[in-house]
Amino acid sequence: MKPLVLDKTQDTPGITLDKKDNQFSFSGTSIPENTKKFYQPIFDWIKEYVKNPNKETIVNFKMKYFNTSSTKSIFDIMIQFKEIAKNNEMLIINWYFHEDDEDMLEAGEGLSKMARFPFNFIKH
């Protein structure tokens, strides 16, 4: 399975989805002009990955900011990854936040609650 790597821009997050190197990360800002179009290749990649995941999948979110339309896409990504846990494979979601950024902590807590999946909350 080929890795999917998207470089961070002013409006879009840096994304690494690499099964071979066991790296799954999202970082930066997500305010794309067309959220659905931007995230579709990510949804497609995860859909394929979930069919044959690694024994352990650790997904790291280091977001600085995301708009309302991105919230839905980020939530959908988490729901897709959650399928791994349903099949008794190890899934860990790490939500990184700056210690002075309560909004990002609360966003992560809300997503964790909505997804009904516990995240690790890590100050950085």
Q: What CATH number is given to the structural domain containing 62? A: 3.30.750
pLDDT along the chain (124 residues), means of 10: 97 98 97 97 98 96 96 96 89 95 96 96 94
Domain membership of residue 21 (yes or no) is no
CA dihedral 59, 65, 68, 72 (to 10 degrees): -10
Domain membership of residue 47 as a residue range: 32-123
Domain membership of residue 69 (yes or no) is yes
What total number of domains does the chain contain? 1
Crossing angle between the packed helical segments 35-51 and 68-86, to the nearest 10 degrees? 0
User: At residue 61, what are phi and psi to the nearest 5 degrees?
Assistant: -110, 120
> Residue 77: which of 32, 38, 105 has the closest Cα?
38
pLDDT of residue 88: 81
